[in-house]
Amino acid sequence: MAIICTTASPAEKEQEPKQSFENDQTPPIVFNPSLLNLQSQIPNQFIWPDEEKPSIDIPVLNVPFIDLSSQDSTLEASRLIAEACTKHGFFLVVNHGVSESLISDAHRLMGSFFDMPLAGKQRAQRKLGESSGYASSFTGRFSTKLPWKETLSFRFSNENNGSRTVQDYFSCTLGQEFEQFGNVYQEYCEAMSSLSLKIMELLGLSLGVNRDYFRGFFEENDSIMRLNHYPPCQTPDLTLGTGPHCDPSSLTILHQDHVNGLQVFVDNQWRSIPPNPKAFVVNIGDTFMALSNGIFKSCLHRAVVNRESARKSMTFFLCPKRDKVVKPPSEILDKIPRRYPDFTWPMFLEFTQKHYRADENTLDSFSNWVITNKNLI
């Protein structure tokens, strides 16, 4: 993905996460769970501070179910979405129209990829500062508070409504033997893009904006698809699958397997969202929070692991076309003073990839960075 920001100045580098390996000569640890699980204790790099360690027996978060099958329920759906998004930004969509067989195929191939030997997965190794590729616990970026997971991320472009970015990625990166992967995930991403646009119509109605406004803004989206694998861990009470963070993207559409693990921080308490094979979990990201001028919330969430079962999930991160300027529509700005500066998605993406480890303050920190460095951007 092209980046339009400039390289950080020495003053900016001082604000980068201390976990970065940019100036550290120590080679990063290799995350190979089949070997790490043979040890009695996990390496210190994966142990999180006491105040961030996972909670046990947490309550379930009450999130609304949004039925997309009936036009008659549009107003009620937009009301429920507004209620959820002003509080925590999470809701479930059911009767979404995405083929069950497609979801099943996508999960099956995800399992096949993560079952490969480490060397095979590393053929798609993600390079530092990039958003596509295989990452084993982000060991190349951070040296402490490492997540107990491995991921495969790749770009999807809906520009010109005929792009084959996903198919090309698998063929070029992993070879022609992965043609089926490319076909399935191309179709899955196209389904996620279409679903995202339907949800954008409801978000527009929820905010009192023309229902076509946000749909049009994201019509030619340039998004990110990520496959997540959280292996079993011998000491799950010491680590996290994914640390607490808010998604920097616009909208996240998650499909979980049968293993519990997603937790959301609401009212000063962690709460879980159990798996539901018939539903997609949807949450607002920082970029849409900026588009709504802070009305809708991008909420802190994390993933936990367990001792017995691997957990897998598929995440589609909806992102705007690269040259789209992120700013709220006039209908919102007429009511509420502007909270965030103009920016483009590549600017924000680079900030999270090179200058900042995503947390609950990412959007505010990025806004301050943009204002401070506006003459350099």
Angle at 52 between CA 46 and CA 57, to 5 degrees: 105
Q: Encode 109-125: b = buried (16+ Cβ within 10 Å), e = exposed.
A: bbeebbeeeeeebeebe
d(CA 371, CA 377): 10
Which structure tokens are listed for 247?
A: 């998604």
Return the domain boundaries, the chain: 62-375
Contact 273, 254 (CB under 8 A): no
Number of C-alpha atoms within 13 angstroms, CB side, residue 287? 29
Q: What are the pLDDT digits (tens) for 165-218? A: 999 999 999 999 999 999 999 999 999 999 999 999 999 999 999 999 999 999
Contact between 128 and 141 (Cβ < 8 Å): yes
Give the Cα separation of 157 and 222 in Å (integer): 4
Beta-strand ranges (E) seen in 122-209 are 133-136, 150-157
Give the model confidence (pLDDT) of 214-250 as tens digits.
999 999 999 999 999 999 999 999 999 999 999 999 9
E strand or H helix at 368: helix 362-372
pLDDT, one tens digit per residue, over 283-328 is 999 999 999 999 999 999 999 999 999 999 999 999 999 999 999 9
Give the burial class of 57: count Cβ atoms within 10 A of its Cβ; 0-12 exposed, 13-18 middle, 19 or more buried.
exposed
| Chain position carrying tokens 């991320």 | 153
Residue 129 has pLDDT above 70, yes or no: yes
Show Cβ contacts of residue 164 under 8 Å, excluding neighbours closer than 6 positions. Answer: 186
pLDDT attached to residue 55? 83
Residue-level pLDDT at 375: 56
pLDDT above 80: residue 115? yes
- For the chain, how far is it from start to end, CA to CA, in angstroms? 17
Residue 10 has pLDDT above 50, yes or no: no
Range of weakest confidence among 9-18, 102-111, 352-361:
9-18
Which residues does 15 contact at the CB level (< 8 Å), separation at least 6? 355, 356, 369
Q: Does domain 62-375 have CATH number 2.40.10.340?
A: no
**What gap in Å lies between CA 125 and CA 319, rounded to an integer?**
23
pLDDT of residue 305: 97
Query: Chain-wide mean pLDDT for the chain?
Result: 89
pLDDT value of position 28: 67
Asked whether the predicted pLDDT for residue 1 surpasses 70, the reply is no
Residue carrying structure tokens 């929820």: 206
- Write the pLDDT tens digit of every residue in 50-86: 999 998 789 999 999 999 987 667 889 999 999 999 9
**Cβ atoms of residues 22 and 139 within 8 Å:** no
Which pLDDT score is estimated for 20?
40
pLDDT reported for residue 143 = 80
Portion of the chain with pLDDT greater than 90, in percent: 77
Other C-beta atoms within 10 Å of 151: how many? Answer: 21
User: Which one is catalytic: 141, 311, 322, 338?
Assistant: 311
> Which of 67, 111, 61, 55 has the alpha carbon at shortest distance from 84?
61
Q: Is 311 a catalytic residue?
A: yes
Give the model's confidence band at 5: pLDDT under 50 very low, under 70 low, under 90 confident, else very high: very low
